[in-house]
Amino acid sequence: MNFTKTMIVAAVMVLATAGQSLAELKVVTTISDLARIAEAVGGEDVHVTALCPGPRDPHFLPAKPSLARKLANADLLCYNGLELEIGWLPLLLDKARNPRIKPGAPGDLDCSNSLEHILDVPGGNVDRGMGDIHALGNPHYTLDPGNAVLIARGMANRMGQLDSKNKAAYTARAQAFADAVSAKQPFWHDQLAEARTKSIILYHSHWNYFTHWQELKVVGEIENRPGITPSPRHVQSIIDKGRDLEDVMIIAAQWDHQEVAEEVAERIGTALAVLPGYSGAQKGTENYFDFIDRLCSRVAEAAARIETVPVKE
């Protein structure tokens, strides 16, 4: 009899656990920054999976069958948009055959639609000879925490539509996320006070939202055509420009051509800040706030090192 009661209790617990699992909203995001924001908004009411891990450049993610299987079970797909995932997301969606997240469905969320401003929207005709130009604008908007707040509110609204019983909780968590960003803004701003007195050379326009948010002065890019290795002639022109400036520093992502970024920094005689491109790209940046902290601290450290770096002829 005791054995029977034990089995019944165990069965009830299994069913209860299964019910909780089924109650979770299954959220899939394309990039890690969106995953961290979705986790903050969804809390215990969601299960979040990111397709592209932080260390990977999301421009070039292989459309593996394992990723399509993750999409097949999703209730909500949160993607970056602005053509960042154009090379692989449509292929995965076609393989997943999930009507809940197909374009226009309730589970389809283009997070760029939450933005108020999009940077670097090109004018005139765009062709492949210009490099990896995004015709809809710069897609790396999660590097501005103000945009992250807008994304969080957009996610909360859509999660609430799909899971109405937890709508208030999603809204409250999005507000808590916004409050946390607001509380950190003065710290981040003060941290980069010295960097705002310097000129910045970027390897790639990946950082434009970050530099725009922090009011950093960008004077050039090593990569003159996005996604294409810069020519020696252009690299030399950037080095000459950097040498003409009194205080200049270099910013690159960890997946950029490090040897080129290092050569430019060494021949100018200045500091290079190699930054994680997305949350989770480096150890200790798994949380969105830790990620932004790392960006600010690395840039601040590089700004402070400028005068101590020797010139390599």
Q: For residue 258, what pLDDT band results from cuts at 50, 70 and 90?
A: confident
Q: For residue 132, what pLDDT band results from cuts at 50, 70 and 90?
A: low
Among 228, 235, 213, 226, smallest CA distance to 122 is for 226
Mean pLDDT of the chain: 89
pLDDT of residue 128 exceeding 80, the answer is no
| Cα separations in angstroms, 92 against 104, 112, 113 | 16, 20, 21
% of the chain surpassing 70 pLDDT = 87
Q: What is the pLDDT of residue 22?
A: 45
pLDDT of residue 211 exceeding 90, the answer is yes
Strand (E) or helix (H) holding 39? helix 32-42
pLDDT of residue 249 exceeding 60, the answer is yes
Q: For residue 133, what pLDDT band results from cuts at 50, 70 and 90?
A: low
pLDDT of residue 51 exceeding 80, the answer is yes
How many CA atoms lie within 13 Å of 62's alpha carbon, on the beta-carbon side?
A: 3
pLDDT of residue 199 exceeding 90, the answer is yes
Judge whether 282 and 238 are in contact, CB under 8 Å.
no
Under DSSP, the state recorded for 228 is: S
Tell me the two tokens of residue 98. 């999930």
Using the structure block, give the residue that is written with the tokens 């601040």: 300
Q: For residue 257, what pLDDT band results from cuts at 50, 70 and 90?
A: confident
Please report the DSSP string for 82-138 in residue order.
Answer: TTTTTTTHHHHHHHH--TTSSTTSTTEEEGGGG-S--S-PPPS---GGG-S--TT--
Judge whether 237 and 272 are in contact, CB under 8 Å.
no
Plot region of 269 (φ>0 → left; ψ -120 to 50 → alpha; else → beta):
left
Tell me the two tokens of residue 178. 């916004």
Average pLDDT over residues 280-305: 96
Q: What are phi and psi of 40, to 5 degrees?
A: -65, -40
Burial pattern 288-308, b for ≥16 Cβ within 10 A else e, equals bbebbbbbbebbbebbeebee
| Range of weakest confidence among 66-70, 255-259, 282-286 | 255-259
Q: What are phi and psi of 138, to 5 degrees?
A: -65, 125
Q: What is the pLDDT of residue 217?
A: 97
| Range of weakest confidence among 108-112, 194-198, 251-255 | 251-255
pLDDT of residue 170 exceeding 80, the answer is yes
Under DSSP, the state recorded for 256 is: S
> How many helices and strands (H and E) does the chain possess?
10, 8
**Cα(240)–Cα(234) distance, integer angstroms:** 10
Domains of the chain: 21-184 (3.40.50.1980), 192-308 (3.40.50.1980)
Among 274, 245, 263, smallest CA distance to 55 is for 274
pLDDT digits (tens, 9 = 90+) for 1-48: 443 334 333 333 333 333 333 458 999 999 999 999 999 999 999 999
Average pLDDT over residues 75-94: 97
CB atoms near residue 244 (< 10 Å): 11
